[in-house]
Amino acid sequence: MEYSGLIGIFLSITLMAYIIYKTFNIILKNNVNNYQQFVENIMPERLKENKILGLTINNIINIFLLISFNIMVAGFATYFMQELNIPKWCGCILIAILAFMILSKNINGVIKINTYLIPIIILLIIFLGANKIKYTKIIEGEHIKNSIYWILSSILYASYNSITLIPILISFRKSINTKKESLLIAIFVTFIMIILSVVIFLLMNTFIKEIYNVEIPIIYIANTLGTGFKYIYGIVILMAISTTAICAGYGFLSNVTRNRKNYMLCAGIMCLLSVLIGQIGFSNLINLLYPIFGYLGILQIIFLIMR
């Protein structure tokens, strides 16, 4: 199918919209305050008493947060290597030190930064698409044309995003009061995600030959608009990567530590190991680890549908 990529985008985002709507409804109906309560509400009755399963799901979340932290560190280092030809280990050390300094203090300011960064990123991507998308025939690999690979990829994308998406939705429980509000939010988020996903897809297709071996292709494409836009977009992306890494790291540390001493020790070890893990490479980590959590996230989606 020639346009399987676009169809996959709609399939994945539709599934994520369903997850958002269903999650908010469960939160409202059962007065859910944390992720553990949410898991208890979606699990079949015969499994609710299984403490091992509940502990396993909680550990999966923690591991995913830790991996997300390391992937963001690798992405930060990859930007410096790709754009400035600076070795990966230098970029990894820089973001690791920055993350440790912020994690040892207060991350509230970092969380607030995201509320400004997200609209800016949306506008920059739309601006980039408006200037650089050209009409070209959609190019797809033979492994996509001749199989259901694109269907599986779409489901996996939605499922591994649901692992961290649901805890975030739970944190907004005080802002949602009715099913109508949850439906409107799901529709709005779906609309924004479809626009951004289609723009990025068409951008990738326009520059498919140039970005074949590029680890962060959107940065390469942004560079074609000139030096000014290149650095503006680069700064915004680096800030987004940094705040995402810090939030993921904080989520992991909050879940696995019980006192300040252990928190600081684990934060130091986590940041130190990220310098080593970051050498594996941004795209390599994504290709290796995200599909694994995608398969695990499918179980959560099945529970949601059954609920």
The model's pLDDT over 276-285, given as tens digits with 9 standing for 90+, comes to 998 888 888 8
How confident is residue 34, by pLDDT bands cut at 50, 70 and 90? confident
The fold adopted by the segment(s) 4-306 is Amino acid/polyamine transporter I (1.20.1740)
Task: Judge whether residue 24 has pLDDT over 70.
Answer: yes
Question: Which residues 6+ apart lie within 8 Å of 294 measured at CB?
Answer: 155, 156, 157, 159, 160
> What are the φ and ψ backbone dihedral angles of 136, each rounded to 5 degrees?
-140, 160
Ordered by start, the domain boundaries in the chain are 4-306
Does the CA dihedral 299-66-285-111 come out positive or negative?
positive
Task: Judge whether residue 99 has pLDDT over 50.
Answer: yes
**Amino acid 273: pLDDT:** 94
> Is residue 221 within 8 Å of residue 147, measured between CB atoms?
no
> What are the φ and ψ backbone dihedral angles of 141, each rounded to 5 degrees?
-75, 160
Task: Judge whether residue 103 has pLDDT over 60.
Answer: yes
**Amino acid 2: pLDDT:** 52
Residues 108, 246: Cα–Cα separation, whole Å: 11
pTM confidence score: 0.78
Task: Judge whether residue 157 has pLDDT over 80.
Answer: yes
Task: Judge whether residue 146 has pLDDT over 60.
Answer: no
Residues 9, 2: Cα–Cα separation, whole Å: 14
Residues 185, 171: Cα–Cα separation, whole Å: 15
Task: Identify which has the larger pLDDT, 37 or 98.
Answer: 98
- Token output for 78: 């990859």
**Amino acid 100: pLDDT:** 93
**Amino acid 139: pLDDT:** 53
Task: Judge whether residue 58 has pLDDT over 80.
Answer: no
Residues 60, 163: Cα–Cα separation, whole Å: 9
> Is residue 27 within 8 Å of residue 170, measured between CB atoms?
yes
> Is residue 128 within 8 Å of residue 263, measured between CB atoms?
no
Q: What is the pLDDT of residues 186-234, one digit of tens each?
A: 899 889 999 999 999 889 888 888 887 787 888 888 888 888 888 888 8
| Helix (H) and strand (E) counts in the chain | 13, 0
**Amino acid 138: pLDDT:** 55
Q: What is the pLDDT of residues 167-187, one digit of tens each?
A: 778 777 777 888 888 889 889
> Is residue 143 within 8 Å of residue 149, measured between CB atoms?
yes
Task: Identify which has the larger pLDDT, 242 or 46.
Answer: 242
Exposure string of 50-59, with b = 16+ CB inside 10 Å and e = fewer, is: eeeebeebee
Q: How high is the mean pLDDT of the chain?
A: 83
**Amino acid 254: pLDDT:** 81
Q: Which of 19-23, 89-93, 103-107 has the least mean pLDDT?
A: 103-107
